Every structure is written in C-alpha cells, then in structure tokens.
C-alpha cells in the first residue's frame, strides 16, 4: 500500500488541471506542463484535488501509484513556484558567465565549455563562482545542473570543482613527508 499514493494532490488557486483522455495538463502562473501517466494507474479530479489510484493489485501498479502521484505534485509545484538548483565553483581561475542563454565555463581545461540552456530553463550567474539553474520541470532542472557539475566534479584533496550549494565534499589528507 503506497503511503504517498493515497494522499490526494491539492490544486492551489491560480492553477488549472485538465484531464484530456489519458494525459493531464497543468497550467499555472509560470507556465504549463503535460503528463501522460502509465496505464497502471488511473487519474481523476475531485473537489480541487487530483486522486491517483492503481488499476490493479499487481506489483507494477503499486509501484507506479506513488510515482505518478509525486510527478503530478511536482508539476503543480513547478507551475506555481518553479524549481531551482544552485551550483558553486571553487578553484583558481574557474569561473562562469552567461551570455544570452549560453553558459560559458572556464574550468582549467584547454578550451572553454559552452552549455546551451534548453527551452524552459534559465541559467543565471549572480557572481562568477555561482550558477543558478531555474525552470518549471524538476527533472530537467536537475539534469542540467548534473550536466554542468559533470564537467568538473569536486575533487577530494583541494576541493576544487563544481559542487551543489550545501554539498559536503569529504576531504582526504594529502601526502605526508
């Protein structure tokens, strides 16, 4: 029995949710998203809330029950507040800057790294060592942040590289004389 799936997803004021056949369209102040749940769950709208129920008692239906409830809740949060991930750059000569919708990273490589932001995602650099990725799709925001981090993950000896804000990097002791 899914503890998450049992809870209905409340629809806040200013957000509309529509069922169109098998897909759900959620529209809010920041934009709109379409979701097409799997055939293992059924979705219905009652009294300003969305209810997800499994189609059968199979293991796959019960697995998808909580998953699709969470995905629908994330889409409602995305169109109301949006999602953001903050990255920090540490290292001598490492810096980031945005021109248009392209992030330009200088990471000590023989070339500069240019990352183009997909539609619906905005990348900001409040300072040369901070990057903020914003958007309404939680999965897309996290994937872009992970792609940026993958160019220079933090290393354990000096801590240089790109890390998530608040991420703890275990530091190793270097060579001893």
Q: Three-state DSSP class for 5?
A: coil
Q: Which domains does the chain have, with CATH numbers?
A: 9-80 (3.90.930.12), 83-164 (3.90.930.12)
Report the candidate in 127, 141, 145, 142 with the shortest Cα–Cα distance to residue 87: 145
What pLDDT does 6 receive? 87
CA 112, CA 101: separation in Å to the nearest integer?
16
Kindly give the pairing relationship between strand 161-164 and strand 95-99.
unpaired
What pLDDT does 107 receive? 92
Q: Cα-atom radius of gyration of the chain, to the nearest Å?
A: 21
Burial tier of 110 (Cβ tally within 10 Å: 0-12, 13-18, 19+): exposed
Give the pLDDT confidence of 44-72 residue by residue, as tens digits. Answer: 998 899 999 999 989 999 889 999 999 99
Give the pLDDT confidence of 146-175 residue by residue, as tens digits. Answer: 999 999 999 999 989 999 999 899 999 888
In this prediction, residue 2 has a pLDDT band, given cuts at 50, 70 and 90, of: low
Give the pLDDT confidence of 117-153 residue by residue, as tens digits. Answer: 999 999 999 999 999 999 999 999 999 999 999 999 9
């Amino acid at each position: 029995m899914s503890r998450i799936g049992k809870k209905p997803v409340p629809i806040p004021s200013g957000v509309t949710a529509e069922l169109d056949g098998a897909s759900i369209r959620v529209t809010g102040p920041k934009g709109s998203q379409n979701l097409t749940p799997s055939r293992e769950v059924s979705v219905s709208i009652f009294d300003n809330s969305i209810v997800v129920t499994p189609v059968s008692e199979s293991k796959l239906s019960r697995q998808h029950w909580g998953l699709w409830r969470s995905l629908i809740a994330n889409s409602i949060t995305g169109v109301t507040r949006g999602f953001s991930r903050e990255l920090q750059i540490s290292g001598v000569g490492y810096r980031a800057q945005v021109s248009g919708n392209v992030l330009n990273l200088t990471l000590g490589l023989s070339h500069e790294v240019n990352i183009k932001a997909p539609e619906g995602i905005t990348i900001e650099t409040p300072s040369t060592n901070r990057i903020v990725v914003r958007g309404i799709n939680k999965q897309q925001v996290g994937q872009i942040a992970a792609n940026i981090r993958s160019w220079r993950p933090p290393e354990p000896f000096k801590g240089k590289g790109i890390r998530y804000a608040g991420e703890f990097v275990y530091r190793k002791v270097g060579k001893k004389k």
